[in-house]
């Protein structure tokens, strides 16, 4: 059986993704502002924007944002979640072939997305799209290891998911390419803590939003049953807290 393409993996997941995925910590955007010397009105491209979680946070900084997303369902959800009058536009396109002119953007962000791209082609396209001196940011959140609730949640997802452990391991390494990629300057990596409080429905919805979750009804039911037990073990006053480490890789396009 052939593996689904990256955009196909998210078909049917848009509603759960929009409702149950976390946002990104303000400190990460503070870092982007400093590193990119980004002023109000800066032009930002959000590659692989999904349901627009990061896109809307970028716009809240006073920047003009274009979200790029290949999956129609995710893009439809992003548009529905974006308030009228917001300085955001959306385009359906692949990160490796964006229908915008060269030297267009002051900065480019790929949030929770770059691991789905062809890295060499996507980096080349980012260099084309950025103005000289512009900034590229690759950002991911990962569940913080060593937290008892996180570890129990992760064990359940790995037990029932579709290549979950393998795909998570690949994702954790995907940003390292920017640290040594030719044609970029000042490459660095920064990390920021974040967290997400959830009730039981939120925990189950968070699991439903992952692209490598179980695909059969039986598998989905088994994962949900185990996560209910995990929630009951760790909940306090009907809620649990998932702890994250958000990592941002950054580099400048040379002047």
pLDDT tens-digit readout, 176-218: 999 999 999 999 999 999 999 999 999 999 999 998 888 899 9
By residue count, the chain amounts to: 255
> Running DSSP on this structure, what letter comes out for residue 8?
G
CA distance 174 to 168: 10
Burial class of residue 93 (count of CB atoms within 10 Å of its CB; 0-12, 13-18, 19+): middle
The count of domains in the chain is 1
pLDDT digits (tens, 9 = 90+) for 3-46: 556 656 677 889 999 999 999 999 999 999 999 999 999 999 99
Range of the domain at 107: 8-143+165-195+244-252
Rounded CA separation 172/128 (Å)? 26
Residue at 79 is within a domain:
yes
Euclidean distance between CA atoms 89 and 68, whole angstroms: 9
* C-alpha separations of 243 from 126, 151, 205, 212 in Å: 31, 10, 16, 20
Residue 223 in domain? no
Q: With 60 as the cut, is the pLDDT of residue 245 above it?
A: yes
For residue 149, is it within any domain?
no
Round to whole Å and give the CA distance between 33 and 54: 14
C-alpha–C-alpha distance, residues 124 and 254, integer Å: 13
In a domain, 234, yes or no: no
Give me 149's structure tokens.
């609730």
In a domain, 208, yes or no: no
State the sign of the Cα–Cα–Cα–Cα dihedral 229, 235, 240, 244.
Answer: negative
pLDDT value for 161: 83
Cβ contacts of residue 138 below 8 Å, gap of 6+?
109, 110, 114, 174, 175, 178, 248, 249, 250
Angle between helices 148-160 and 217-234 (to 10 degrees): 170
Report the DSSP pairing between strands 185-198 and 130-143: unpaired
Q: Tell me what the mean pLDDT of segment 42-58 comes to.
A: 98
- Is residue 157 situated within a structural domain? no
Task: Look at residue 85 and tell me if it is in a domain.
Answer: yes
Instruction: Give the CATH number, domain containing residue 14.
Output: 3.40.50.150
- 216 lies in a domain? no
Binning pLDDT at 50, 70 and 90, where does residue 169 land? confident
> CA 208: distance to chain centroid?
16
């Amino acid at each position: 059986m052939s593996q689904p393409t990256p955009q196909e993996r998210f078909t049917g997941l848009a509603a759960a993704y929009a409702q149950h995925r976390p946002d990104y910590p303000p400190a990460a955007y503070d870092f982007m502002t400093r590193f990119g010397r980004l002023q109000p009105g800066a032009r930002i491209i959000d590659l692989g924007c999904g349901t627009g979680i990061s896109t809307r946070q970028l716009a809240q900084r006073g920047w003009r944002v274009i979200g790029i997303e290949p999956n129609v369902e995710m893009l439809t959800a992003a548009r529905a979640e974006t308030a009228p009058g917001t300085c955001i536009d959306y385009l359906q396109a692949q990160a490796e072939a964006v229908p915008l002119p060269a030297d267009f953007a002051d900065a480019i962000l790929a949030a929770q997305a770059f691991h789905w791209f062809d890295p060499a082609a996507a980096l080349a396209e980012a260099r084309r799209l950025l103005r000289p001196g512009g900034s590229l940011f690759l950002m991911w959140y990962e569940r913080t290891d060593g937290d008892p609730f996180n570890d129990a949640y992760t064990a359940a997802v790995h037990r029932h998911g579709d290549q979950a452990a393998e795909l998570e391991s690949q994702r954790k390494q995907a940003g390292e390419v920017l640290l040594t990629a030719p044609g970029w300057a000042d490459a660095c990596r920064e990390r920021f803590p974040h967290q997400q409080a959830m009730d039981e429905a939120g925990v189950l919805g968070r699991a439903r939003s992952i692209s490598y979750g179980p695909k059969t009804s039986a598998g989905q039911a088994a994962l949900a049953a185990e996560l209910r037990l995990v929630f009951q073990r760790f909940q306090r006053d009907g809620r649990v807290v998932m702890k994250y480490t958000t990592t941002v890789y950054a580099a400048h396009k040379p002047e």
